[in-house]
Amino acid sequence: MIEIKNLSKIFTIPGQEILALDNVSLTVKAGEIFGIIGLSGAGKSTLIRCINMLERPTKGSIIVDGREITALDKRELRSARQKIGMIFQQFNLLSSRTVSDNVMFPLEIAGFARSAALKRTRELLELVGLSDKAGVYPAQLSGGQKQRVGIARALANDPKLLLSDEATSALDPQTTRSILKLLKDINQQFNLTILLITHDMNVIKEVCDRVAVIDNSRIVEVGDVLKVFSNPGTPTSRSFVNTVVNREVPGELLHGFAARNDGAAVKLVRVSFIGPSAGEPLISSMVRKYEVEVNILYGNIDRIKDTPFGNLTVELIGPPGLLQESLDYLRGRGLEIEVLSDA
Amino acid sequence: MAVIPWVEPWVIEKVLFATWETIYMVLSSAFLSYVFGLPLGVILVTTAAGHVLENKGVNSVLGSIVNATRSIPFIIFLILLIPFTRMVVGTSIGTVASIVPLTLAAIPFVARLVETSLKEIEWGLIEAALSMGAGAWQIVAKVLLPEAAPSIILGVAITTINLVGYSAMAGIVGGGGLGTLAYYYGYQRYEDTVMWVTVIVLIILVQGFQMFGDKFADKIANKRR
């Protein structure tokens, strides 16, 4: 759906050049929810704004749904933009228009007949659950309701792609969850591709299929969300994952960890469970099978999009060979194993 | 016609007629100055750097003309324009002739007021419209002007009130209206009553225009709250 190739963006302000995007390449598949996460200033906002050319790239190309956005003239760009919806952190609703007229706005721009536009608007308000607010002005709505209007407006022209620019960053956690659920629903109902940017790993966890981590103007990691959560490949990714899933082993635990004097080996291991394996009693069957000792130190279980995901920090005690075999057993059952310390 | 016992009837008659002339001059020139000033303000905003019709040349040329015109004191502007007024209206004396310099002086003022109103609109709204594929003129008509409407209306009140003052100045060089009345009778013939009645009428006019503008702007703003 989106193909970004060697994209760079340099902002020039008097006496200074700022590299906002450094040779970014990325592919977003049709129908997926793709998240880009990064800290403020990492370049994620510039990246999403390049996709509908609100920001003109300095170098590189972007193909959206088969059309090279970066090569279009003004008129073509306007018609291409009609098929790319966008929602914003600050909602950006027109205060001069009622809810219904805000949703109708893109239809007016696209030149719809009024009766058709009205019909479509009613459908959209129904979809986002705001039919009763049609005649109300945005100032009377809550943040969550405003974003629902924003979503209805973004969907008006039946876009194939929805860009979400920090759409939940101004909302409280509960409202954020309800908006994310709505996004997930429309993604499934209309097979709409969604590209979102956020600094909140919870958003990635709740809705995204794949994630790209952006740091210092570069993409440092791209992958399935489950993969990145269970095995983050870079320090930046790790710190984002840690904001949601506590993976850090407390310092005292590592300090107290020492070799034994009875010849047994000790390993401090983190086991990550994904999907169905999270429901199986794999640790206890390992214990029975290999007769090693397991000391459970810390664990939690969570849900990533719709998949259960858990991790457990354990101390394994036993003869060195058996320990290795038991870890291989767990790996063989699809668990992610990370040896934190060895003695 | 002794409506007000201590003011002689002829004074009332004169004042009423002059008031009508002033209202006529002020409203006509206010209207005309918006016909030209509103588009000019829109162009000043939209041709600025980074805006939807970015055009450095047009922007700086128009900006300089506006500034130049605004820096000429009105009384001098009035005299400078006499030949032009004569060309357009056929005379440089009377209410209709006054409308020419009043309008021309108000246009750049209006343009700056409109510019200020439009600049208050959050850029995010313009971006949202751009993201939907809106063109520059759709953004002007559907985003900028409606969003800025309450502020633009307050600007109309300010302009109209300024024009009341300017029209009195035009009156001194034969422009008609309350200015002429105050000058001929109040100043040259020492008719204090005429002077005072004129001042009172001017105060009432200014109050009226301001109240009307506030009400109208509030009405729109309240609807959106």
Please tell me the total count of domains within chain A: 2
Please tell me the total count of domains within chain B: 1
DSSP annotation string for B52-63: TT--HHHHHHHH
pLDDT beneath 70, residues of chain A: 247, 254-261, 278-279
pLDDT band at B109 (very low <50, low <70, confident <90, very high): very high
Same domain, A215 and A277: no
The per-residue pLDDT for A199 is 93
Reply yes or no on whether the pLDDT at B1 is more than 80: no
Same domain, A129 and A201: yes
The per-residue pLDDT for B65 is 95
The per-residue pLDDT for B2 is 46
Same domain, A123 and A179: yes
Locate the DSSP E strands across A247-306: 265-274, 293-304
Same domain, A31 and A127: yes
Q: Do B133 and A105 touch (CB under 8 A)?
A: no
Is residue B152 included in any domain, yes or no? yes
The per-residue pLDDT for A278 is 67
Reply yes or no on whether the pLDDT at B116 is more than 70: yes
Q: Chain A: nearest CA to B149, how far in angstroms?
A: 9
The per-residue pLDDT for A257 is 67
Is residue B21 included in any domain, yes or no? yes
Which residues lie closer than 8 Å to A29 by C-beta, 6 or more apart?
A: A1, A193, A210
Instruction: Please indicate if any CB of chain B lies within 8 Å of the CB of A8.
Output: no
Given A244, A279, A297, the domain boundary residue is: A244
Same domain, A67 and A150: yes
Given A227, A244, A261, the domain boundary residue is: A244
Same domain, A237 and A329: no
Q: How many CB atoms lie within 10 A of CB A144?
A: 18
Mean per-residue pLDDT for B31-54?
96
Same domain, A132 and A258: no
The per-residue pLDDT for B112 is 96
A158, amino acid identity: D
Query: Residue A285 sits in which domain range?
Result: 251-342
pLDDT tens for each residue of B16-26: 999 999 999 99
Whichever domain contains B47, its CATH number is 1.10.3720.10
Reply yes or no on whether the pLDDT at B11 is more than 50: yes
Same domain, A97 and A170: yes
Predicted-complex ipTM score:
0.86
**Could you tell me which residue, A53 or B182, shows the higher pLDDT?**
A53
Same domain, A21 and A155: yes
The per-residue pLDDT for A154 is 97
Is residue B113 included in any domain, yes or no? yes
Of A48, A29, A35, nearest to A202 by C-alpha is: A35
Q: Do B122 and A90 touch (CB under 8 A)?
A: yes
The pLDDT > 90 percentage for chain B reads 71
Whichever domain contains A263, its CATH number is 3.30.70.260
Query: Residue B64 sits in which domain range?
Result: 9-224
Cβ contacts from A onto B, under 8 A: 67
Same domain, A239 and A257: no
Reply yes or no on whether the pLDDT at B180 is more than 90: no
Is residue B25 included in any domain, yes or no? yes
The per-residue pLDDT for A255 is 66
The per-residue pLDDT for B3 is 52
Q: How many CB atoms lie within 10 A of CB A86?
A: 27
Q: Do B138 and A110 touch (CB under 8 A)?
A: no
Whichever domain contains A101, its CATH number is 3.40.50.300
Q: Which residues of B touch A77 (CB under 8 A)?
A: 133
Is residue B4 included in any domain, yes or no? no
CA distance B194 to A120: 65
Is residue B3 included in any domain, yes or no? no
Q: Chain B: nearest CA to A180, how far in angstroms?
A: 20
Q: Do B142 and A105 touch (CB under 8 A)?
A: yes
